[in-house]
Structure 1
Amino acid sequence: MPLMDIGEVAERSGVPPSTLRYYEEIGLIRSQGRRGLRRQFDADVLLKLSLVGLGKIAGFSLDEIAGMFGENDEPDIPRERLRAKANELQRQILGLRTLRDALRHVADCQAPTHLECPTFRALLKTASRRPLVYHPSQPERGAGAKPARQRRKS
């Protein structure tokens, strides 16, 4: 199998050379050596980069993605993690749909001001209790939990 240099890998994968160097630094991909100063990669790195890209689009961290490859760099993706990610995405989708519909209603509402719109007031009340859209970086709170207070930056 012929080797490709880092420039060719970058061109064919759409991943910048700086990112390829970073991925190699953290052990996500491996070069097979160098020709002069340029790293050389097997052609199978393109498949791995595609899998990394898909994992990133799905919201997995690079550490999580790295853990999805076995000893021989073969994909070893736990199906339960995929189900959990799909469920997380479903929650986000539902939250985004709710937010979209509320914003459209408020934009089209015939009330003299937004504050006179019952839907807008309900939206404000809901937003003050919990986020409308779940983000992985935000811990989920149970029903009735008090909202976390944000600290002011000084």
Structure 2
Amino acid sequence: MREEPLLDIAEVARRSGLAPSALRFYEKKGLIAAAGRNGLRRTYHPDVLERLELITCARSAGLSVAEIGRFLVARPSDADLRDRMADKARTLDEQIGRLTRLRDSLRHAAVCDHEPIVDCPQFKRAVGNVSAPATTPGGSSSRPTRPSG
């Protein structure tokens, strides 16, 4: 089995969409590790791209660099971290619910014939639901109310 060639920092930056400074920052924080250097340039194993996808996804979900660092080394016995991740998942569920209701409100506004659109009763009702808390698993429903008009 042939080992894949190392990628220099510029190639990792290009493929990941992250700035080289972000890669150096993640390395300094222990989230990724360079395989070595080619002259003055850091080199990385190609599997660093998968790790960077996970980091990018976690960052977009609102996890801090410290939280990501703890998650990357977590063991099944880390009950505290599991509890924090479950809390984060609940927060994301609430955000997803609000964004879904907002999307539905905007979709209604895009086809609404009421003049002005902001005075449309269905739109007002939908917008009022945007900031409402999402129902929790086991609750009545996690589906957003859709405008009907």
Of 25, 28, 40, which residue of structure 2 is paired with 1:25?
A: 28
How many angstroms apart in 2 are the aligned matches of 1:92 and 1:85? Answer: 11
1:50 pairs with 2:53: yes
TM, length-normalised to structure 1: 0.56
Equivalent residue, structure 2, for 1:83: 86
Question: Structure 2: 5+ residue runs without aligned partners?
Answer: 107-130, 134-149
Higher relative contact order (CA 8 A, sep 6+): 2
**SS in structure 1 of the partner of residue 71 of structure 2:** coil
| CA separation of 1:85 and 1:20: change in aligned 2, threshold 3 A | same
| CA separation of 1:4 and 1:82: change in aligned 2, threshold 3 A | same
Equivalent residue, structure 2, for 1:67: 70
CA contact (8 A) 1:56 1:62 kept: yes
CA contact (8 A) 1:92 1:133 kept: no
Question: Structure 1: 5+ residue runs without aligned partners?
Answer: 104-131, 135-154
How far does residue 53 in structure 1 lie from its aligned partner after superposition?
Answer: 0.9
Deviations 1:106-151 (A, max 9, x none): xxxxxxxxxxxxxxxxxxxxxxxxxx589xxxxxxxxxxxxxxxxx
Higher helix share: 2
How many angstroms apart in 2 are the aligned matches of 1:87 and 1:10? Answer: 32
Amino acid at match of 2:50: L
Percent identity among equivalent residues? 46
| CA separation of 1:12 and 1:98: change in aligned 2, threshold 3 A | closer
Deviations 1:71-114 (A, max 9, x none): xxxx75855443322211233344556778999xxxxxxxxxxx
CA contact (8 A) 1:3 1:40 kept: yes
* Equivalent pairs, count: 126
List 4+ stretches of structure 1 deviating above 6 A.
Answer: 97-103
How many angstroms apart in 2 are the aligned matches of 1:4 and 1:81? Answer: 34
**SS in structure 2 of the partner of residue 68 of structure 1:** helix
Deviations 1:47-71 (A, max 9, x none): 110110111121111110011122x
